[in-house]
Amino acid sequence: MTNVLSENAQLAVRAVKYQGDRDFDSLRAISSPDAVLEFPFHPLGPQIYAGRDAMIEQFSVIKVFQTFKIDVVDVFDTGGEVVIVEGRSHGTYKSGRPDYNNHYLFVLSFANGKLVRWREFFNPLEAMKQNLGKPRPEKKASENVP
């Protein structure tokens, strides 16, 4: 028997691929204008960004990589509005810093065929290792929702 993914699960896999491929135009096209991005375990503490443009801007930080890829490991298809995608990343920095690898769970929510919520769980220790001793980038307060 073949495992056929629901429409939302197929959208979830595409969304993760678009993000990993840095195809932000395609990600924008499948996202609702009022989409919300959440990083509950970010190294700087929980982060929430409201709106598709703020979400895309946060994802654009991966432009620091020469190469970046997210491989989908598994898809937990609930058959409903929420889909969980497990993935692993590998990136090489343009600056020559050590390679970046991480493990993720993406909890993606959909409504009316559009991505409305991207909740990303990753190992913050891996992210912190890459930035140890580096100054923290400044955030735009207008994009960060408390």
Domain residue spans of the chain: 7-131
Distances (CA, A) of 119 to 28, 67, 82, 133, 135: 16, 23, 10, 27, 26
- Rounded to two decimals, what is the model's pTM? 0.83
The residue that leads in pLDDT, 11 or 43, is 11
Domain 7-131, classified CATH 3.10.450.50, yes or no: yes
pLDDT in tens, 81-107: 999 999 999 998 888 888 889 999 999
pLDDT in tens, 40-67: 998 889 999 999 999 999 998 888 899 9
Mean pLDDT of 20-39: 97
Distances (CA, A) of 110 to 25, 50, 68, 124, 125: 18, 15, 25, 26, 29
Mean pLDDT taken over the chain? 88
